[in-house]
Structure 1
């Protein structure tokens, strides 16, 4: 029966153009390569190389077998990498939950780096309302989460403050509020406000319901889409709306009570007393820098 070593000889001989070059590459004598290829041909009952020329070349059948042999060797290499990762106690999968508002460019870059450092660890990305994430972590649906800090201080998870995210009050450029040079809370009351609310009915405590008419969504992406349809006004993360304001697709509301942009504190949370494997620890440390 053929083996991995013989497939390796086949692939290297085909790619390097000779049995002697293959022998040098693999640190063997040429006769060992020639015999290995001959045995492989016997096992497969296929002539792999045309030896009538000075340099052996793949036959048509040999080219077909070469393609499959190369694929097998690639899978063997991946198997070895997975085995090595397993021996290092790397997790098979890490589940990360975060509010879509926190999918910043730095978080995107961190996930790219994670894929390079842990190519054999799966990552499940779960985007849900910030107010729902603690329950995901507590129940084991997520290993780690990024949330807007709970003002009630959830004692059922471990918290790590990582910074603040700025928010702007915005509306559509054709919204009636866009004509105002300054706005107080009373000016906002008659106009529909869009707020975040999770699947369990919990709202972000940082944003008060100011308007008489309210709509809710469970993601800031949905709220942004509604604002762009001129359905109401809302507070949205600066990184989501800054370019839209510059391009005049959105209007920044001149709130007299907002001397500076709203800055919401952000926490990374994990299950109480959870142990970290290498991949989860890498992610945890990297998340500390996504708002710097």
Structure 2
């Protein structure tokens, strides 16, 4: 048995802001993917995945009782497949902010949900919100609290624009320029990040009025401007706004940036060769970078592993 592939995702803009209802833009990232598989003899990582699926099955069973109007799964079939050695075979790095648990949730929904909303039908706003709600409940098993956006992105495999908590829509993004000098890239921190502690830090910071003002005035304004520029292909303006966003994040989200990258972050802002921002909740994993000239950024960041995501 082997199921369809579900891809990683990158939240280009909106990390933390979307928790507090500002805009976000998420895109699928096809370099990493996962699929459900079933085998009799499992290696160590497959056996661990199978064990986690067992725990997830118990969680789903409870949640279907709690939310019968939203969740309906063929649980007996799921239990049987888990007992027969089903696991999630994934190349998506865990704790890296690119949606490893989201892809798993999307795969399970796709295979076991009753009356599932499919990618092929007319995706109205109501259907998108319903999917997001379902995925939010499912993915909360992994993080304690989930927006449901990662699985939504992985399941639909299309860019998604988050206007607010109750207003999401598919987004058309400009096609890549294969020969373009500018780029979006991932920088590997080589540190595994954990979502829940980072979200807890953020929630504690939200008790501070100054932090709340910064979030609603500066952070959200720069994020919204970046999304607008990106979708319209205003590259020059985009880099100006990403630089402002990068500064605000460095000044206000330091616990989410691994210490050894504080200076790397600052150097990008000073040199204008690249600008860094959080990828997911931070604390490790990938850091997202934007470079007006990718070759110059690569030269300045030659001590780090970079992955190209998108060319301008």
TM-score (norm 1): 0.20
Return the structure number with greater helix share.
2
